Amino acid sequence: MQPVGVAAPLNVDIAEKTFQSAEGVKIVALRGLSFEVRQGEFACLLGPSGCGKTTTLRILLGLDRQFSGSYQLPEGGSNRIAAVFQEPVLLPWRTVEQNVRLALSPSLRDKELDWLFEILGLSTMRSLYPSELSLGLARRAALARAFATEPAILFLDEPFTSLDERTADRLRRLLMTVWAARPTTALMVTHNLREALLLADRIIVLSPRPAQVLGIYDVALSRQLRDAPALDDLVLDFHRRFPDTV
């Protein structure tokens, strides 16, 4: 089913999503998956690898229409959707700045983006090409491209995977800085509990495949207070609530 209507939050109600294996076996990826993300909220979909998190994101991005159920995307001033994937997907023949501005409509290609490049530490790298960037810097450029559009909703699919932990943590905090400067409804897929506890307002906890919602974990602690000891406490509290999850 196609997206229906328009509502303030993101509403998801996927009855079932199946795949056909190479051997012709039916695989149920999602069944009875229902949740919502409030307007202006940063939410994380947390679940084990292979449970159907990325499949859910593909459906919400309109990349997979073979499912039963429905969803509603939030409406904002721009009505635009932005996505950040596991790979930066930058055009190699374009500079950092050109890659970022390509996401803008022609009428906005010259909009002022100094604040965005500065927050993400890209001010001195705007004229560089992707081949001249480290993977961490390339992912900063991908974040800049997503936020430049001022989207009504932002989807993120494990954007910090395959990075060393120090680089990943730096990028998580940069993500929060730029998101706090221009808040938008966001849904991020991850299987990293500490990452979800650092970033999210709420964590939507998924079961193993076929994915269903096991419960919602509200992260009540202010982001400014989520240092390492506080995250340790949150991890313990989370596991008390969800003892058999990631």
In tens, the pLDDT along 217-236 reads 999 999 989 999 999 999 99
| Pure H helices in the chain | 53-60, 96-101, 114-119, 135-148, 165-181, 193-199, 228-241
Give the pLDDT band of residue 48 (cuts 50, 70, 90): confident
Q: At residue 1, does pLDDT exceed 60?
A: no
> What does the pLDDT read at residue 94?
95
Q: pTM (2 decimals)?
A: 0.88
Q: How far does CA 167 lie from the centroid of its chain?
A: 18
Pick the closest to residue 47 from 158, 124, 126 (CA basis): 158
Residues 6+ apart with CB under 8 A from 181: 115, 119
DSSP structure string for 63-101: S---SEEEEE-B--SS--EEEE-SS----TTS-HHHHHH
**Cα–Cα distance, 52 to 123 (Å, whole number):** 37
In tens, the pLDDT along 179-218 reads 988 888 999 999 899 999 999 999 999 998 888 999 999 9
Segment 13-25 shows an average pLDDT of 86
Give the pLDDT band of residue 7 (cuts 50, 70, 90): very low
Q: At residue 77, does pLDDT exceed 60?
A: no
In tens, the pLDDT along 135-189 reads 989 999 999 999 988 888 999 999 888 788 888 888 998 999 989 888 889 999 9
Q: At residue 111, does pLDDT exceed 80?
A: yes
In tens, the pLDDT along 121-134 reads 999 999 999 999 99
> What does the pLDDT read at residue 246?
65
Tokens 């001195």 map to which residue? Answer: 124
Q: At residue 245, does pLDDT exceed 80?
A: no
Instruction: Give me the sign of the Cα torsion angle 176, 214, 218, 166.
Output: negative
**Cα–Cα distance, 19 to 7 (Å, whole number):** 29
Note whether 11 and 72 are within 8 A (CB): yes
* Residue 74 DSSP class: B
Give the pLDDT band of residue 6 (cuts 50, 70, 90): very low
Q: Count CA within 13 A, CB hemisphere, residue 204.
A: 25
Q: At residue 239, does pLDDT exceed 70?
A: yes
Note whether 211 and 35 are within 8 A (CB): no
List the single range of 27-31, 56-60, 159-163, 206-210 with lowest mean pLDDT.
159-163
> What does the pLDDT read at residue 213?
94
